[in-house]
Structure 1
Amino acid sequence: MGPSLADELDAAMRGETTQRAIMGVVNESYSHPLADEMNHISSSKEMRVSPTMIKRRQFRPIEPPLYPEDPVRDTQKESTLADELSEAENRGNGNFGDSVDLRTPDRIFKVVFVGDSAVGKTCFLHRFCYNRFKPLFNATIGVDFTVKTVQLKGRFIALQLWDTAGQERFRSITKQYFRKADGVILMFDVTSEQSFLNVRNWITSVKAGVDESTVMCLVGNKVDLFGSDATRNTVYKAGRKLAEEYNMPFFETSAFTGQGIEYCMKMMAERLQKREEDHLEEALKLEAMTPVGNGRRSWCCL
């Protein structure tokens, strides 16, 4: 006769209790409680993150990181973004054409470019401001405007460069921008005789809207397109003769190659600065010649 149902249930209960006891011993022998595991990690000296490591992440290295085996890696110089901006602002620039936009200019001069359409005024300005030649430009509509700050004899000068349209329909608009101009650059295309003949008309329009002390210069652009030296000499003599007639300097330039552009703008800036110094000196002389009164005020009787 086999075991009864009560005997089978009793045996099953005894087996389950034994299995639980065995599993408890195994878990106790081979695993740690979660709290002990966390305490073990927090007390481990190798896993701690030092404050120095956290601070170093706030810096951006100036140079790319060196290889780990490089012994100079520990002495690598690090700098914040503010330090780099300050260094860029204080960086010296010995060339006249280098931009120094981070500087506050000591003086601002307004320079207007005039001349027939397609003589290269916009390309000239693009080469001077960005040192690049852009072959395709839409015709200037009305007036365009840009500013470049340059360094000249220890002073920072902002040149307001006004690019005017050369088409006849915009003449009434461009004439308004001649007023209060410190300097005017009259430009013609050395390969276009008509643009050279129209320079006299431009000079007449400019003189009607500027002061007598306004600095003016004549520029023959696109000299890179000359076919022969004989043609260039002929155009140069004609341009220089016209410039001397109106007591202004003459420059040959090329927006394509950059020839003569920086020199032309440097001479313009120097003449503008000299004009300002002459005005200041004249004002000081007039002030010194003014007789000093006895300190009494004169009253007007009405």
Structure 2
Amino acid sequence: MNEKSFKVIIVGDLEVGKTSFIIKYTQNKFSQKYKATLGMDCVTSEVRKTPTDVIRVALWDICGQESSRVALMPQFCRGAHACIVMVDITRQSTLDGAIQWKKTVDKQALLPNGSSIPCLLLANKCDLPVGNVAKEDIVKVSEEHNFLKSVEISVKENQNVAESIEYLVDVMLAQEANSTKLSRDEVDSAIRDLEFPPQKQRNVCCN
């Protein structure tokens, strides 16, 4: 049995759905009434790539308050291999907040080669018929701030939840396999060539 372990940190403003995302992925449950995370929390799940290859993914959650970035982020980011930054498509402020979270992660979560860990931008609540954040703005933030890509998800409807983790696992495996053989730019290029599983789109586009 071949086993690997990866740490994925999940950040974003209050009530964007970080805890709900983790519980949906690990337990296939959803509730509107989760309590806000206090401090940090971690849940580990297994991803089987083949019958003999097991990937253990530790999903780390952090409270969304501004003060967390100063008090908890150094410990939270230590040893991380990848990051999810989450926004709520009904609140423009969470997209603005995602930019600040990304800048913080870029400074504090570094790979052994000195580069920032790969980050995926997830836009939650795409099951809602109307949102306040345009898809074009999400894509623009993703491109301008060097995210791997942006993906629309619905934790409630289980849209692109498992697919997001599976994609990040592929990214982390490619990163690990190529880090000693290729230059940093070549590793980045190989990662960006990875395909995200076919996405389920919003029922109604938000503009």
For the aligned pair, the TM-score class normalised by the smaller chain equals 0.7 to 0.9
Q: Does 1:183 align with 2:82?
A: yes
1:202 aligned partner = 101
Which SS does the other structure have where 1:168 is aligned?
coil
Query: What amino acid sits opposite 1:148 in the alignment?
Result: S
Deviation by residue 1:59-95 (Cα, 9 ceiling, x = unmatched): xxxxxxxxxxxxxxxxxxxxxxxxxxxxxxxxxxxxx
Contact 1:114–1:163 (CA<8 Å) still a contact in 2?
A: yes
Q: Name the structure with the higher strand share.
A: 2
d(CA) in 2 for partners of 1:156, 1:249: 25
Quote the offset at 1:213 in angstroms.
4.7
Residue equivalent to 1:115: 12
SS in 1 for 2:134: helix
SS in structure 2 of the partner of residue 139 of structure 1: coil
- Match of 2:203? none
Report the counterpart of residue 129 of structure 1 in structure 2. 26
Q: Which 5+ residue runs of structure 1 have no aligned equivalent?
A: 1-103, 284-302
Structure whose CA Rg is larger = 1
TM-score, normalisation: structure 1: 0.55
2:137 is the counterpart of 1:238? yes
Q: For residue 282 of structure 1, report the CA deviation from its aligned partner.
A: 4.1
Corresponding residue pairs, total: 176
Question: Is the Cα–Cα contact under 8 Å of residues 148 and 158 in structure 1 kept in the other structure?
Answer: yes
Q: 2:169 matched to 1:269? A: yes
Other-structure match for 1:253: 153
| Contact 1:165/1:174 (8 A) holds in 2 | no
| Aligned 1:67-106 pairs, distance under 5 A | 106=3
| Structure showing greater relative contact order (alpha-carbon pairs closer than 8 Å, 6 or more residues apart) | 2
Deviation of 1:277 after TM superposition, in Å, equals 0.7
37, 58, 65: which one aligns with 1:167: 65
- The 3-state SS of whatever aligns with 1:281 is coil
Shift of residue 172 of structure 1? 2.3
**Structure 1 residues 192, 261: closer, same or farther in 2, change over 3 A?**
same
Whole-angstrom distance in 2 between the partners of 1:235 and 1:130: 31
1:110, CA displacement in angstroms? Answer: 0.5
Q: TM-score, normalised by structure 2?
A: 0.79
2:205 paired residue number = none
Q: Tell me how large the CA RMSD over aligned residues is.
A: 1.9
- 1:138 counterpart SS class: coil
- Give the 3-state SS of the residue equivalent to 1:204 in structure 2: helix
Measured after TM superposition, the shift of residue 252 of structure 1 is 0.8
Q: Which runs of 5+ in 2 are unaligned?
A: 184-207
* 1:179 CA drift (Å): 2.2
The alpha-carbon distance between structure 1 residues 225 and 156, as it changes in their structure 2 partners (threshold 3 A), is same
2:131 matches 1:223: no
